[in-house]
Amino acid sequence: MDFNEELLTDERFERLNTHRQSELIAEYCSDIEDRIRSASSRLEALRFAESSCTRFEQTCPSALVRKALERHVEKLILQYWK
């Protein structure tokens, strides 16, 4: 399913209402910026980011939300580990 299909398919969003979306983000991403910033190396930060995103992807049914997290994490890596 691509992004356009997801936008047109209501059951994808029924399974990921705002409350559930917030729960998933809090569970998997609450400490992501701190962990990336405090990593001892860029490689460690990348490994942590990849691990977090992978766990989130396995739980979150929305490709839009998963992609938003990926982009956010990429920006954090660039911000702290140029």
pLDDT at 26: 81
pLDDT at 40: 97
pLDDT at 8: 44
Q: Cβ neighbours of residue 1 under 8 Å, at least 6 residues apart?
A: 9, 12, 63
Dihedral over Cα of 80, 75, 69, 50: its sign = negative
Q: What is the pTM of this model?
A: 0.73
Segments forming the whole domain that contains residue 31: 3-80
Mean pLDDT of 57-82: 89
CB atoms within 10 A of CB 16: 17
Count up the domains in the chain and report the number: 1
What would the pLDDT profile of 9-64 be if each residue is shown by its tens digit?
A: 545 555 556 777 778 888 878 889 999 999 999 999 999 999 988 988 888 888 88
